[in-house]
Structure 1
Amino acid sequence: MTTLFLMVGLPGAGKTTRARQLAEEHGALRLTPDDWMIPLFGVSEADGKRDVLEGRMLWLALEALRLGTDVVVDFGCWSRDERSAIRRLAEAEGAGFRMVYLPVDAETQRNRIADRWATAPEETFPITEADLRHGRAHFEEPDTAELDGRAIDGPPPGWSTWREWAADRWPSFA
């Protein structure tokens, strides 16, 4: 059975480092938007293009699962709805799903981001203190039930399937 590994956490949590390790350990395809946003657009948020890019990456992830390749999706996935949708989409393909949540305290996060900017600025974007506060305020930390795969509700009101919700969240997914 193929597996989709979903990296979850704030910037500086170590998601991409762990995603690289998982990809190597499992011979998996690693999909990290920053690896594409920087060469294509030079910024992390280019007028909604990140959502479009993530949608195509999610589409590609499901194609890879169908072909028998494990996938590491390194989006961060701050919302429970995003994580639930990706889990359900992977499971609909007959794949396993493993959430990899990497919590990070504020001080460690700041230090890692500063270090990354100092040592590999070509691989990252500047992140301000306001960006960090915004992220912490909007991140929905997974609870034990979600981490164990027990707490997945149906799609939010107004959506009949997670696939429909995902196509709206990531416009190029469908």
Structure 2
Amino acid sequence: MTTLFLMVGLPGAGKTTRARQLAEEYRALRLTPDEWMIPLFGEAEADGKRDVLEGRMLWLALEAVKAGTNMVVDFGCWSRDERSAIRWLVEAEGACFRIVYLAVDEETQRARIAHRWATARAETLPMTEADIMYGRSHFEEPDASELGGGEAAGPPPGWADWRAWAADRWPSFA
């Protein structure tokens, strides 16, 4: 069955390294926004362009799973709502959805971020201590039900379905 693997975790957790391994192992197409943001815009956020890029990547990922191509989506997906929306969209296309969560402790995270900046500056984005702390305080760790493929949560109040929510979250998805 065609599978979409969703990489989940904080910067420095090893998501992209694991995403590359999964792409090779499952002959999957890998979409990693950081690898596009720097060449296209020279920065990570670029006035909301990351959300636009992720929306088109999500659209492409769904088109690919419809065509029978395994996908690895390396967004990080800090919020449960983002993960739930992507799961719903993938399963609506009849594909299998797998979360790949990589936890990282603060010390390891800082060391990996510093090493990446020191050794691959052209391929990475600078991160300040404030950036690290912001991520740690806003990240919603997946629970056992989410990781085990339990029943997917419904969309937040006010949304008809996850497709409508996703179109608002990622403006270019619709």
TM-score, scaled to structure 1:
0.99
Runs of 5+ consecutive residues of structure 2 not aligned to the other structure: none
Amino acid at match of 2:31: L
Aligned Cα RMSD in Å?
0.6
Partner of 1:153: 153
Structure 2 residue aligned with 1:82: 82
Q: Which residue of 1 aligns with 2:39?
A: 39
> What is the identity percentage for the equivalent residue pairs of Structure 1 and Structure 2?
79
Offset from partner CA, 1:89-113 (integer Å, 9 cap, x none) = 0000000011000000000000000
Measure the CA separation in 1 of the matches of 2:32 and 2:116: 16
C-alpha separation between the residues in 1 aligned to 2:71 and 2:145? 23
Cα distance in 2 for residues equivalent to 1:75 and 1:33: 7
Structure 1 gaps, min length 5:
none
Q: State the SS of the aligned residue for 1:98.
A: strand
Amino acid in the other structure paired with 2:63: E
3-state DSSP class of the match of 1:39?
helix
Task: Provide the secondary structure at the position in 1 that maps to 2:113.
Answer: helix
Number of matched pairs: 174
Counterpart residue number, 2:126 = 126
* 1:132-153 deviation line (CA, Å, top 9, x unaligned): 0000000000010110111521
Distance 1:93 1:43 in 2: 33
Distance (whole Å) between structure 2 residues aligned to residue 21 and residue 122 of structure 1: 22
Instruction: Give secondary structure in 2 for the equivalent of 1:4.
Output: strand
State the distance in 1 between where 2:75 and 2:151 align: 20
- Residue of structure 2 equivalent to 1:9: 9
Aligned to 1:53: 53
Give the aligned partner of residue 26 of structure 1.
26
Letter in 2 for 1:168: D
Q: Which runs of 4+ in 1 moved over 6 A?
A: none
Whole-angstrom CA distance in 1 between matches of 2:61 and 2:96: 13
Q: In structure 1, what is the equivalent of residue 70 of structure 2? A: 70
The CA deviation string for residues 42-71 of structure 1, in whole angstroms up to 9 with x for no partner, is 000000000000000000000000111000
Q: Distance in 1 between matches of 2:39 and 2:163?
A: 29
Question: For the residues of structure 2 that align with 1:124 and 1:158, how far apart are their CA atoms?
Answer: 37
Between the aligned partners of 1:73 and 1:137, the Cα distance in structure 2 is: 23
Q: Does 1:112 align with 2:93?
A: no
